[in-house]
Amino acid sequence: MHDPRDEEQRAPYDPMPHGPPVVGVGPWQGPWPEGRQWDPDLLREGDRRNVVDRYRYWTLEAIVADLDTRRHAFHVAIENWQHDFNIGTIVRTANAFLAAEVHIVGNRRWNRRGAMVTDRYQHVRHHPDPASLAAYLHALDPPVRLLGIDNLPGSMHLETTEVPRDVCFLFGQEGPGLSEAAREVCDGTFSIAQFGSTRSINASSAAAIAMHGWVRAHADLTGEDAWRG
Ligand SMILES: C[S@@+](CC[C@H](N)C(=O)[O-])C[C@H]1O[C@@H](n2cnc3c(N)ncnc32)[C@H](O)[C@@H]1O
């Protein structure tokens, strides 16, 4: 029977309404493990965070340090002139696919709701304008190419392009799409094929497609790590 108290306990991001009523694990049972990665508060209280099982009871700092040892070479960037609601979702997907960094171009403030706290585990960098982003990426070693992702006239096709390893995908906002200033500094613009009547897909959907294109081309899919939920 449906018990409304279950809903109170359920984490707001829980995508499995018929799964267990609470996410995560309770207090550690038995003698506490030794090591700097363990968080005494979580061991004592339990760990209800949205993290994969291998990071249960780890401190935030230890998780970020471990992710830093195996981040992928791709970056993602989004323009933020109107507080686009897609940014949080893009940050969450960038975390799942283990992007090197997420770049926000324009306003510093962004709507964190869709990120579901994943931004804490991600390096999020701000740039005042697209030229600053391009200069930052081109100065990295190895240099990172800035590819605008938008279905603009003259865009090349993402599906038939060999996605570079050292790349940053830049997305525009709902409505205006990539700004003129962004288009000018991109090393190329690429569209995602569409077949229906709508002019475009949602920016965070486009970001997921582009990031997954990188994963299919470059990520190591041989280890167990790639398939864990
Ligand atoms: C809603 S779209 C913006 C407007 C779009 N250029 C139009 O003409 O309707 C928001 C962002 O999503 C991404 N996007 C949406 N559809 C896309 C597609 N088919 N190919 C590449 N990017 C797309 C782009 O980054 C774009 O700037």
Tens-digit pLDDT profile for residues 19-44: 666 788 999 999 999 999 999 999 99
Chain segment 99-129, per-residue pLDDT in tens? 999 999 998 888 887 888 888 999 999 999 9
Q: Say how far apart CA 49 and CA 72 lie, in whole Å.
A: 23
Q: Which domains does the chain have, with CATH numbers?
A: 22-59 (no CATH), 71-218 (3.40.1280.10)
Residues 91 and 119: beta-carbon distance below 8 Å: yes
- Cα of 150 from ligand 1 centre, angstroms: 5
Angle at 22 between CA 98 and CA 92, to 5 degrees: 20
- Cα of 171 from ligand 1 centre, angstroms: 8
Residues 148 and 180: beta-carbon distance below 8 Å: no
Which residue among 179, 192, 201, 205 has the greatest number of ligand 1 atoms within 8 angstroms of its CB, and so is best to mutate?
Answer: 201
Query: Is 0.75 surpassed by the pTM of this model?
Result: yes
Ligand 1: atom nearest CA of 199 is 9
Chain segment 58-98, per-residue pLDDT in tens? 999 999 999 999 999 999 999 998 877 889 999 999 999 99
Tokens of 196: 């229906």
Tokens of 56: 């249960």
Is residue 225 very low, low, confident or very high in pLDDT (cuts 50, 70, 90)?
Answer: confident
Tokens of 118: 């994943």
Chain segment 38-68, per-residue pLDDT in tens? 999 999 999 999 899 999 999 999 999 999 9
In terms of Cβ atoms closer than 10 Å to its own Cβ (0-12, 13-18, 19+), residue 76 is buried
Q: Say how far apart CA 185 and CA 148 lie, in whole Å.
A: 9
Ligand 1: atom nearest CA of 79 is 27
Which residue among 81, 105, 150, 180 has the greatest number of ligand 1 atoms within 8 angstroms of its CB, and so is best to mutate?
Answer: 150
Tokens of 136: 């930052």
Predicted confidence at residue 35, as pLDDT, reads 97
The percent of residues above 90 in pLDDT, for the chain, comes to 76
89 backbone dihedrals φ, ψ, rounded to 5°? -65, -35
Tokens of 45: 């209280």
Q: Say how far apart CA 68 and CA 122 lie, in whole Å.
A: 9
- Cα of 121 from ligand 1 centre, angstroms: 27
- Cα of 202 from ligand 1 centre, angstroms: 7
Q: Say how far apart CA 115 and CA 78 lie, in whole Å.
A: 14
Which residue among 78, 84, 85, 151 has the greatest number of ligand 1 atoms within 8 angstroms of its CB, and so is best to mutate?
Answer: 151
Q: Say how far apart CA 114 and CA 92 lie, in whole Å.
A: 7
Which residue among 90, 170, 200 has the greatest number of ligand 1 atoms within 8 angstroms of its CB, and so is best to mutate?
Answer: 200
Q: Say how far apart CA 155 and CA 177 lie, in whole Å.
A: 13
Q: Say how far apart CA 78 and CA 85 lie, in whole Å.
A: 11
What is the overall mean pLDDT for the chain? 90
* Ligand 1 neighbours by CB, cut-off 6 Å: 149-151, 171-172, 174, 177-178, 191-192, 194, 199-201, 203, 206
Name residue 41's amino acid: D
- Cα of 149 from ligand 1 centre, angstroms: 7
